[in-house]
Amino acid sequence: MSRPTISDLAKAANVGISTVDRVLNGRDPVRPQTAERVLAAAEKIGFHGVTAIKRRLENEKPRVKLGFLLKQSHRKLYRMWAEVLTKAVETYPEAHGRAIIRFDDELTPEQTADTMLSMSRECDAISVITSDHPQINQAVDGLEQEGIPVFTMISDLTARGRTGYVGNDCVKKGRTAAWFIDNLNPNPGKVAVFVGSHRYLSQELCEMGFRSYFRESAPDFQMMETLGTREEPEIAYEITQRLLKSEDNWVGLYVAGGGITGVMRALRECDTTSSNRLVVVAHELTNETRAGLADGVIKAVLSHPPVLLAETLVRAMVDALDTHRTPSVTQHLLPFEIFTAANI
């Protein structure tokens, strides 16, 4: 049986002979997706130049530097995100990637904007987790004009120039938290929401969905004023302690932002009827929230799928750097994971 020819390979890959020739000899550029299709066809029909095609693809992968501006470095959650994102960049199959991680410990708009501008001098594209503020949005719009794609991760921005968002449908997330509190409580009572900051769009939308569920489906529950933790466990601890002492009929708490470890500490220290009946729903499965589910302090955790989010974000950032693509704003809404004591 004769060996497959270039003509056979072109037919199998559904491309022209000239395209196969460019893939094999590297004289002219070929879109990565097309080259991958030629490689797959070559492997399928047993074409003798598979090794050369693989070498060509490897050599022509773009080299990209992707920057990620995360929040407080002292929080284990964001150190976890740093590890997952770094791995996603380094293992991304269609580019030679390098991850540049920065942490925003001050959480001020000025510092965030300055850090983004600084990162733009060493990164090809940037992703941020940050609050929605005019100074930050101005920085995003400025970077867009300079050709630096900026993506939002977990919490979106209103900046006109942001390139895309990767995260959850936060309204559905809030409604799901409310569903748990409604269905796990035998009797209606008072319900509270903790947010890290009122400027995080993700938390604002989670709160919106949470309140809309009770307004539409469980009106006998009484919504308390939303309280801010500034993303600090100690503040969440103090607020939780105060409410346990002052609110006799407090039955539900949705921690839509940072501070869950402070809430858990307060509940463990206050082993009373009030604390034991409180249904707590939190975000993000970590070692701490896993322990909270195990001992019953937390009833449910709604979590971003870390690996899927990181891989989706990296792919979107690399795609945004492809000069062959038409620039557009992309939105990737990923399903959130639901954890209880029964499935951790």
pLDDT digits (tens, 9 = 90+) for 267-322: 999 877 777 899 999 999 999 999 999 999 999 999 999 999 999 999 999 999 98
The answer to whether residue 340 sits within a structural domain is no
pLDDT value of position 27: 66
Average of per-residue pLDDT across 132-157: 98
pLDDT value of position 1: 58
pLDDT digits 0-9 by tens, 162-215: 999 999 999 999 999 999 999 999 999 999 999 999 999 999 999 999 999 999
**Same-domain check for residues 41 and 112:** no
The answer to whether residue 250 sits within a structural domain is yes
**Same-domain check for residues 126 and 191:** no
**Same-domain check for residues 163 and 191:** no
pLDDT value of position 300: 99
**Same-domain check for residues 150 and 265:** no
**Same-domain check for residues 163 and 310:** yes
Calculate the average pLDDT of the chain: 94
**Same-domain check for residues 178 and 56:** no
CATH of the domain at 122: 3.40.50.2300
pLDDT value of position 33: 80
**Same-domain check for residues 16 and 101:** no
Average of per-residue pLDDT across 27-43: 83
φ, ψ at 227 (rounded to 5°): -120, 140
Residue 282: helix, strand or coil by DSSP? strand
Quick one: residue 25, left, alpha or beta (phi over 0 = left, psi -120 to 50 = alpha)? alpha
Q: What is the pTM of this model?
A: 0.87
pLDDT value of position 61: 85
**Same-domain check for residues 296 and 177:** yes
Residue pair 224/195 in contact by the 8 Å Cβ criterion: no
Distance CA 22, CA 5 (A): 15
The answer to whether residue 106 sits within a structural domain is yes
Distance CA 311, CA 304 (A): 12
In this structure, is the dihedral angle defined by the CA atoms of residues 233, 301, 150 and 157, taken in order, positive or negative? negative
3-state secondary structure 175-186: HHHHHHHHHHCC
**Same-domain check for residues 27 and 116:** no
Q: Give the total number of structural domains in the chain.
A: 3
The answer to whether residue 339 sits within a structural domain is no
In this structure, is the dihedral angle defined by the CA atoms of residues 140, 145, 146 and 150, taken in order, positive or negative? positive
pLDDT digits 0-9 by tens, 229-238: 999 999 999 9
pLDDT category at 325 given cuts 50, 70, 90 is confident
| Share above pLDDT 70 across residues of the chain, in percent, rounded to a whole number | 99
Q: Please, what is the Cα angle at 168 between 67 and 164, to 5 degrees?
A: 45
The answer to whether residue 341 sits within a structural domain is no
Distance CA 255, CA 316 (A): 29
The answer to whether residue 343 sits within a structural domain is no
**Same-domain check for residues 156 and 268:** no
Partner residues linked to 67 by β-bridges: 100, 126
pLDDT category at 95 given cuts 50, 70, 90 is very high
Among 14, 43, 60, the domain boundary falls at 60
pLDDT value of position 265: 97
**Same-domain check for residues 284 and 313:** no
Domain that residue 34 falls in? 6-60
Among 40, 60, 80, the domain boundary falls at 60
pLDDT value of position 207: 98
The answer to whether residue 276 sits within a structural domain is yes
CATH of the domain at 19: 1.10.260
Q: In one letter, which amino acid is 44?
A: K
Q: Are strands 222-223 and 227-228 parallel, antiparallel or unpaired?
A: unpaired
**Same-domain check for residues 299 and 195:** yes
Contacts of 108 (CB under 8 A, 6+ apart): none
Average of per-residue pLDDT across 21-31: 78
Average of per-residue pLDDT across 317-343: 91
The answer to whether residue 1 sits within a structural domain is no
Distance CA 46, CA 28 (A): 24
